[in-house]
A and B are shown apart, each in its own frame.
Chain A
Amino acid sequence: MKRRSFVRLAGALGCSLALAGVVAGCSNTTTTAEGSAAAGSDTGSAAAQQVELQVFAANSLEKAMPEVEDLYTEKTGVTFADTQYRGSGDLVEQMTAGAQVDVLITASSGTMDDAVEGSLVDESTRTNMFVNDLVIVAAQDSDVQINSLEDVANVEGNIAIGEPGAVPAGRYANQSLASVGLYSSDTGQDGAYADSIASRVNQAQSVGNAAQYVASGDCTIGFVYSSDVYRYDGLKVVYTVPADSHSAIVYPGAVSANSENPDVAADFIDFCMNDEDALAIWAEYGFELSEE
């Protein structure tokens, strides 16, 4: 009796595992079908090299980067794993936790410094890719008027600012607020907001979240990049934060230290910077390539 019930138990276990296997198998076949369809549309070179790059890019690149990646795939046959677009600080944390990455693009020198310190990227490949502006946005139909940073304290309603630890845009915003005494730390981190705004600051986990809070009306104003206006509907720039009130906004890119295809990864960074068609995409989404 015991033996028989054990056999049945094992059988039940096996069945449930097999069921899961079938389900997994189904979804696998769908993905491979998609994959081969995509590969089929590529020409020639696709067969020669089957390299897949994993890109970790600053959240603000979420709309423009996929188009550039598609362009690169079209031209070279190199494909891309699902690119991660999170706050730059999160991306570095995710790499520290062991994520496999080929290319890292962050939205501040500080976060890239962290990655270099943690030996997560190959420092010799580090290059500044984009520059950006910090702006204050409001919903399209809002009548908020902001003529200086001091006006931020007088705005009614909530203020969306990226969480400074993970979101470089939040740190830049805090630096500029610190310049008018609305934040206690000049570094833009580990400080406190002035009492006049402290209870109204909604800390977003990415610059896109901050933009979305404003676009959906949950926050009256938000500190985002000028390029974010072009990826969210219903936002307008009400004030461009003076560039001298915060550290320069640059997007450094580098090849990851654990990349299995460092040459391809470096080539992709170069492509982003120097290809004429890639430039057309960046320009459309409001990203300005850095000078050198």
Chain B
Amino acid sequence: MSNSPTYIARNGSDLRTGSLPVRSAWQRRWLPVAVVLLFAVLFVVAGPVKAWAVDEGQQTTEDSAVNDEAGFGLNAFVRNNAGTARSVDGADIGYRYPLQDDANLVVLNIPETADAQGTGYVLVHVDADAAEAAGLDLHDTGDTDALRALIEELDRTHSKGGAVLADLAEREWVFTTDDAFVIGPYCFRFSVEKAGGRYTSIVPADLPEGAEPRDQAELLGLDLGGASQWCSNATLVPSADVSTEAAPGVWDNLARFFSSLDYRPFWVSLKTSVLALAITFVLGLFAAWKTMGTSSRLKGVLDSVFTIPMVLPPTVCGFLLMLLFGRATPTGQWLISLGIDLVFTWPAAVISAVVVSFPLMYRTALGAFEGLDRSMLDAARTLGWSERYIFRRLMLPLAWPSIAAGTVLAFARAMGEFGCTLFFAGNYVGVTQTIPIAIYFQWMGGNTDVALFWVIVVILFCFLVVLFINVYTARSQRYRARGITRRSRRRGRAADQASPATDTASADTVRLDQEALRALLAMPADVVDEKQVGAGARGENGRSGGDRPGAGGMGGEA
């Protein structure tokens, strides 16, 4: 906070050296290794999430299975985990499961509670003609065992995470070609056609002529839906007709994964944070500049107001924005009547990002501006420069490393914004769903691999951004490095005891600023130094800093 040059000489230099582009050979070698390591770690982490099945040649499609020895297989297997007691077109046909048009095989999982016997059944109905065509003999245990194995295999792959038949070993398997089958108080009708659809329906076994199944079930105290836990249907075909496809390799799986991804969160994140950054950058610098020039009391107030979004939890920011713009409050109503309806729109996401990233930009810029040598700014004023010109030609270039750091921080904050955005802009895919929000909702939705993909994208992207800014800063500050190295070389010749390392560390702001100032003003070194010394006379620290032998920029030059 202090404006005295001593402060700058002591602390400002520490800040600066961090961003000085003095890269050792070690750093240059280390960087690619780090990148490769990062990729390797991510690949290893990402690896086990997807099962990379490697199979050669042909395989049955997802909904099919075949037993070549038995000579038949199943196509178009579907497992219905729930049915409905809802009427079809006004007609009550009991508790029903939908049936595909060409299905000729139905599997019902009947729990032990459905009959008195206590073991439960797996009831398999096969259409008699289809069985004959496929060469399936229901009286041959070899055939029925083969069919059972096919059903258990497909049931497992179609369980969607639910229980599977293969684990219900105590169930008794019953095979039938009859159109209806009675177990306990329930009658299972395998193929009921109604209003253009086919269903497997469950009705009470004791169903008088003309009675409605649901009414009768209620009368008897039967729970028709409880008579079956799930119901599958498929098409039984000879093994030659089982549909097959080329077995997908690792690359097919990868291609399928990447083509099924929704990339919109990336674009939303990018455009939200870039626009937010542009706004934050301008506002943050402007606020820092103006705050610096105000009286100390007002400055305290402004400083608090500008900084508070940084210390507040983002949800509080979101809540406040919601209060300000939401429909539920008078201010929101008023703004909406003016046509400013922002809640759950993309501008809301941008505003959220600006609010949370602004303090970072503002604080770093203010810190950098206050770290500048006051006497130098005064020197510029004596040259008749306007405040704006000083800001643009002197303050901005000199404070640039800190501003760049602040920009990176603000960008990272805008990119990573979650709480405030979710609160104020919601989670609309392709509109306000940024990558952080996508990660959370994909993870919570059980899509761990998609969440992981976005995590990797964020890590890589942020890595690239930081790298870019660092390289760019290094480039834009190269003139300083050149100045230092030339100087240290020269001094190295003149005085052996000062090593280049200590020289770099002790390269204080005053000297650096003068280097830059000289370059900017394109004046001979001695002229500036004289002005500088004269201007710095009111705080004699400026002189003492300059007179220090180790840091002796002026002394040496003049």
Partners in one complex: yes
Q: How far is the CB of A194 from chain B (nearest CB, A)?
A: 28
> What are 8 A-B contacts defined by CB distance under 8 Å?
A19-B274, A31-B430, A84-B427, A208-B445, A231-B160, A279-B84, A283-B80, A288-B83
Contact partners of B426 in chain A: CB under 8 A: 84, 94, 99
User: What are the interface flags for A259-292 relative to B under an 8 Å C-beta threshold, 1 for contact and 0 otherwise?
Assistant: 0000000000000010010011011111111111
- Do A280 and B78 touch across chains, with their CB atoms under 8 A apart? yes
In the complex with contacts A20-B278, A280-B78, A26-B344 CB distance below 8 A: no
Complex-state Cα separation, A81 to B80, whole angstroms: 28
Contact between chains at B81 and A230 (CB < 8 Å): yes
Chain B residues near A232 (CB, 8 Å)? 161, 446
Identify which of residues 113-143 in chain B touch chain A, using a CB-to-CB cut-off of 8 Å. none
Q: Which residues of B contact A171 (CB under 8 A)?
A: none
Q: Which of A65-101 contact B (CB under 8 A)?
A: 81-82, 84, 86, 94, 96-100
- Given A81-B428, A283-B84, A98-B225 contact (CB < 8 Å): no
Determine the chain A residues whose CB is within 8 A of the CB of B444 once the complex forms.
Answer: 206, 208-209, 212
How distant is B392 from chain A, measured CB to nearest CB, in Å?
A: 6
Query: Which residues does chain B contribute within 8 Å of A287, judged by CB atoms?
Result: 82
Binding site for A on B (CB under 8 A): 78-87, 97-98, 100, 160-163, 196-197, 214, 225, 264, 267-268, 270-271, 274-275, 278, 281-282, 322, 326-328, 332, 336, 341, 343-344, 386, 388-389, 392, 426-431, 433, 443-446
A62 within 8 A of B: yes
**B358 CB to nearest A CB, Å:** 15
Please name all residues of chain B whose beta carbon is closer than 8 Å to the beta carbon of A9 when the two chains form the complex.
388, 392
Decide: B79 and A284 in contact? CB cutoff 8 A: yes
A90 to B473, CA, bound (A): 45
A245 to chain B minimum Cβ distance, whole angstroms, is: 16
Judging by beta carbons under 8 Å apart, are A97 and B82 in contact? no
Interface centre among A13, A227, A236, A279 (most CB of B within 10 A): A279
Contact with B along A200-229 (1 / 0, CB 8 A): 000000101101100100000000001101
Q: In the assembly, what is the distance between CA of A183 and CA of B319, in Å?
A: 30
Cross-chain contact B428 with A84 (CB below 8 angstroms): yes
Instruction: Type the 1/0 row for A144-175, where 1 means its CB is closer than 8 Å to any CB of B.
Output: 00000000000000000000000000000000
A24 to B281, CA, bound (A): 18
Q: Given A27-B267, A63-B445, A283-B97, 16 other A-B contacts at CB below 8 A?
A: A27-B270, A31-B267, A81-B428, A97-B328, A98-B326, A98-B341, A208-B444, A208-B446, A209-B444, A215-B446, A227-B81, A227-B82, A231-B160, A280-B100, A283-B84, A289-B86
Interface centre among A8, A230, A283, A288 (most CB of B within 10 A): A283
**Given A13-B282, A16-B281, does the pair A212, B443 have CB atoms closer than 8 Å?**
yes
Q: Which of B87, B161, B328, B445 contacts A234 (CB 8 A)?
A: B161
Residues in chain B near residue A273, CB distance under 8 A:
86
Q: Does A237 contact B (CB under 8 A)?
A: yes
Q: Which of A13, A98, A209, A280 has the most CB of B within 10 A?
A: A98
Once bound together, how far apart are the Cα atoms of A94 and B328, in whole Å? 11
Do A27 and B443 have beta carbons less than 8 Å apart? Answer: no
Q: Assuming A5-B388, A84-B426, A280-B78, is B446 touching A212 (CB within 8 A)?
A: yes
Give how many A residues have a beta carbon under 8 Å from the other chain's beta carbons.
62
* A286 and B162 form a contact (CB under 8 A): yes
A229 / chain B contacts, CB cutoff of 8 Å: 160-162
**Given the known A-B contacts A5-B389, A19-B278, A82-B428, are A96 and B327 also in contact in the complex, defined by CB atoms under 8 Å?**
yes
Q: How far is the CA of A26 from the CA of B266 in the complex (A)?
A: 12
Kindly list chain A residues whose C-beta atoms are within 8 Å of the C-beta of B388: 1-2, 5-6, 9
**A96-B87 in contact (CB<8A):** no
- Contact between chains at B84 and A288 (CB < 8 Å): yes
Contact A94 B78 (CB under 8 A): no
Chain A residues, Cβ within 8 Å of B163: 236-237
Distance A174 CA – B163 CA, assembled complex (angstroms): 26
A38: which B residues are within 8 A, CB to CB? Answer: none
| Contact status B343-A98, CB under 8 Å | yes
Task: Answer whether residue A233 sits at the interface, using C-beta atoms and an 8 A cutoff.
Answer: yes
Q: Bound complex: CA of A2 vs CA of B391, how far in Å? A: 12
Check A17 for interface membership: any CB of B closer than 8 A: yes
Cα–Cα distance between A290 and B84 once the two chains are bound (Å): 7
Q: Would you give the shortest CB distance from B326 to chain A, in whole angstroms?
A: 5
Contact for B328 among A2, A12, A96, A291, CB less than 8 A: A96
Interface residues of A in 184-205 (CB under 8 A from B): none
CB of A30 closer than 8 Å to a CB of B: yes
Min CB distance A36 to B, Å, is 15
Is A5's CB under 8 angstroms from B322's CB?
no
B-chain residues with CB within 8 Å of residue A13 when the two chains form the complex: 282
